[in-house]
Amino acid sequence: MSDAARHESLIDALGAELTPVRRLLPPWRRAMGWLLVVAVVAAVLFMRNGAATMLHRWHAAPDLGVAACAAVVTAITAALASFVLAVPGRSIAWAWVPVPSALVWIGASGLGCLRAHIPGMPVLNLHEANDCLIFIISFSVPLSGLMIWLIRRACPLRPVLTAVMIGLASAAASASLLEIIHNFDAAASDLLMHALAVAIVIIANMVMGGRLLSRT
């Protein structure tokens, strides 16, 4: 048998043992799938609580509406950045995409502590602020887990950075969901607990998510 024939035979033998690999959907489509889950949860919360209180808060204090909208944009852009960064060869510049909306989210939230109190709107005490922290973390855990599961097959080469984006997307989405049922005015304790919850989610994803996404 000639060398060419042996090579062909070897290639055929190796090819016969390969199993088909299902091609990943484009990053934007997988991000939309994750965001659809968030949208379903939001729809359930709206059905149970309505939108009247949320819209009243936004009308009385536009900074709260700006912060909420910026949180939604941050969730969307961070989710897209997560799925894009998980694909080998994509630019690290995608990590900067959610930064502008995140800065607006943080800035507008901080303004709420400087303006006058909304008449008729209660201010959170420390115990009630703890409930916000628990809400954000409780919703961020399954949202982060779902995104890690969706991303892991892509074999990200920057697992820690990807995990940070996952944490930011999950925390921003959870904060956006909280806005639907959050019938309190902004206060320093409220802002502190929100910031603490977001930091916990991002750090936890950076530590645990980075390990789960790593193939080494």
- The residue segments making up the domain with residue 191 are 26-213
Residue 4 belongs to some domain of the structure? no
Give me 119's structure tokens: 């008449």
In a domain, residue 191? The reply is yes
Residue 58: Cβ within 10 Å count = 18
Other beta carbons within 10 Å of 38: 23
Residues 6+ apart with CB under 8 A from 92: 85, 158, 161
Q: Confirm whether 7 is domain-assigned.
A: no
Average pLDDT across each block of 10 residues of the chain; the chain has 216 residues. List them in order. 58 57 81 96 95 85 89 97 90 95 90 62 65 91 94 84 95 94 70 86 87 71
Residue 203 belongs to some domain of the structure: yes
Alpha-carbon distance of 171 to 106, in angstroms, equals 13
Residue 3 maps to a domain: no
The verdict on residue 18 lying in a domain is: no
| DSSP label at residue 94 | G
Integer CA distances (angstroms), 23 to 86, 149, 154, in order: 14, 16, 10
The residue count of the chain comes to 216
Domains: count for the chain: 1
Report which residue type is found at 121.
Answer: M
In a domain, 81, yes or no: yes
The pLDDT value recorded for residue 45 is 95
pTM: 0.84
139 within some domain: yes
Q: What letter represents residue 143's amino acid?
A: L
> Alpha-carbon distance 62 to 39, whole Å?
23
